[in-house]
Amino acid sequence: MSLFNSKTQTRPVNNGNNFLAELALATIHDGVIITNRAGVIQSINPAAVIMLDCGGAENALGLDYGLLLKLESIEGRELSENENPLIQAMRTNQQLENYAACLIAGPSAKRIPIAISVVVANNNENNKIITFRNITKELAEESEQAEFISTASHEMRTPVASIEGYLSLALNPQTATIDERARNYITAAHNASQHLGRLFRDLLDVTKLDDGHLRPHFEPVEMVGTVKRISDNYITAARNAKLNFQFGSNNPAAINGISKLNQVVYSYVDINFLQEIMNNLIENAIKYTPAGGSIYINVLGDGDRALINVTDTGIGISSDDIHHIFQKFYRADNSDTRTIGGTGLGLYLVKQRVEAMGGRVWAESAFGEGSTFYVSLPRISGEEYEKRMIAINNAKMVAPQAPANNINQGGQQ
Ligand code: ADP
């Protein structure tokens, strides 16, 4: 039995082999709770008692963990049981690793940001070890860092745009006369300034998404027409890159075994997020596919999901790199990618935006043969779509507003 089980003791005494382990638990700043299979608290360390503000170990022992460990999302949103990873991990005996949430602690319901983990013991009792640590300081540091990057990017964007503008003028035969050598130098400088401009724009988006300032504004959307319209903007760029570009081709390699062309697929998404996601995936497909290759884009309804795929026959991604490409600043490093410009932020931004809309993004690829990026978003029924559209139109009639986004809802109106 753990020494912390004692109703009177909160400090371990040296009377057994577990002394050092007990001492460690008694002195660390992380909260540790051990429950039985059913989630009843068997043991609680002093840091957990303080963080949970439960007045003493004796008040916690024998209680269901859920009575003390009440969580809301890190942004302060209420979590339903299905959305609460702690409840899910405890119910299904799954591990949970460093989930960032807000703890609602003690009688005063004080909010404490924590990172919480669950480990299930491989013993008969299936004990669960819940650990949680206060991340207030980490969040403050991250937020300061983000603030700095955001201010710096914002300040640098304007001069970079101006440099890019003047270099464009120098390259334009109608506004400047330059010799061939100068043209080569200025072209290189122009490309670099465009790269820098893109980097600052992506960095600004990263900081806004990371600190929750860029929240999705959901609206009902017909996905097939909308994604087609976004894709159509790239027909010229693909042609210039000598690529075959098809929307709705139902390319067999594109969607695993689902063959439902000409569907109408409804979703409830942020249209600007969707546009940015598609821009990134299509620009990458063009960038990483050598001339003569093909790009296929499809949207399909797959049960309760709307599934988009962007498939290319380009350079592909190695099995080592594929696990990292959605990380911040990650770029696959090989002879092909070294000559292709990029910031390594695009796919990170795609992931952030997709997840903010309750979706999932992943890639499948064969190195040297091509890649498929999938985006799966929650789907809504036709009736749900109609209902939401009527609600929006009614709200507009009550309070007239400026016209909505230039991408409409897929020609359904
Ligand atoms: P970047 O600005 O470098 O393109 P991204 O975050 O968009 O950054 O992509 C990260 C990395 O993933 C890229 O550097 C590249 O190595 C790889 N990648 C992304 N899309 C593709 C693709 N369609 N084909 C091959 N590799 C890709």
The 3-state secondary structure of 337-378 reads: HHCCCCCCCHHHHHHHHHHHCCCEEEEEEECCCEEEEEEEEE
Same domain, residue pair 112 and 147: no
Question: If you measure from the C-alpha of residue 325 to the centroid of ligand 1, how many angstroms do you get, rounded to a whole number?
Answer: 7
Same domain, residue pair 204 and 312: no
Residue 279, CB-side half-sphere exposure with 13 Å CA sphere = 10
Same domain, residue pair 256 and 386: yes
- Report yes or no on 262 lying in a domain: yes
Residue with tokens 């959605």: 326
277 phi and psi angles, rounded to 5 deg = -60, -50
Q: Which of 183, 210, 237 is the last residue of a domain?
A: 210
What CATH number does the domain containing 124 carry?
A: 3.30.450.20
What CATH number does the domain containing 258 carry?
A: 3.30.565.10
The candidate with the shortest Cα–Cα distance to 323, out of 358, 284, 351, 300, is 351
Look at residue 261 in the predicted model and tell me its pLDDT. 54
For the Cβ of 284 lying below 6 angstroms from any atom of ligand 1, the answer is yes
The 10s digit of each residue's pLDDT in 124-140 is: 888 999 999 999 999 89
For the Cβ of 230 lying below 6 angstroms from any atom of ligand 1, the answer is no
- Report yes or no on 181 lying in a domain: yes
Look at residue 409 in the predicted model and tell me its pLDDT. 40
Residue 410, CB-side half-sphere exposure with 13 Å CA sphere = 23
Give the chain's domain count.
Answer: 3
Look at residue 263 in the predicted model and tell me its pLDDT. 78
Tokens representing 14 are 């040296």
- Report yes or no on 408 lying in a domain: no
Question: If you measure from the C-alpha of residue 208 to the centroid of ligand 1, how many angstroms do you get, rounded to a whole number?
Answer: 22
Same domain, residue pair 235 and 294: yes
* CB-based burial, 20-35: b 16+ in 10 Å, e otherwise: eebeebbeeebbbbbb
Same domain, residue pair 28 and 46: yes
- Position in ligand 1 atom list of the atom nearest CA 333: 16
Question: If you measure from the C-alpha of residue 260 to the centroid of ligand 1, how many angstroms do you get, rounded to a whole number?
Answer: 29
Same domain, residue pair 148 and 121: no
- Closest residue by CA, ligand 1 atom 13: 331
Look at residue 33 in the predicted model and tell me its pLDDT. 96
For the Cβ of 312 lying below 6 angstroms from any atom of ligand 1, the answer is yes
Given a contact cutoff of 8 angstroms between Cβ atoms, the answer to whether 260 and 270 are in contact is no
Same domain, residue pair 91 and 235: no
For the Cβ of 276 lying below 6 angstroms from any atom of ligand 1, the answer is no
Look at residue 22 in the predicted model and tell me its pLDDT. 86
Bridge partner residues of 375 (DSSP): 308, 361
Measured CA to CA in angstroms, residue 218 lies from 209, 357, 413 at distances of 16, 8, 18
Q: Which of 190, 210, 230 is the last residue of a domain?
A: 210
88 phi and psi angles, rounded to 5 deg = -65, -45
**175: containing domain:** 139-210
In sequence order, what are the residues at sequence separation of 6 or more whose Cβ sits closer than 8 angstroms to the Cβ of residue 377?
223, 267, 269, 305, 306, 308, 354, 357, 358, 359
Q: Is residue 297 packed enough to be buried (19+ CB in 10 Å), middle (13-18) or exposed (0-12)?
A: buried
Same domain, residue pair 387 and 288: yes
What angle separates helix 346-356 from helix 271-287, to the nearest 10 degrees? 150
Q: Which of 99, 117, 134 is the last residue of a domain?
A: 134
Same domain, residue pair 271 and 390: yes
Residue 65, CB-side half-sphere exposure with 13 Å CA sphere = 30
Residue stretches of the chain with pLDDT short of 70 = 1-17, 250-262, 399-413
Look at residue 375 in the predicted model and tell me its pLDDT. 97
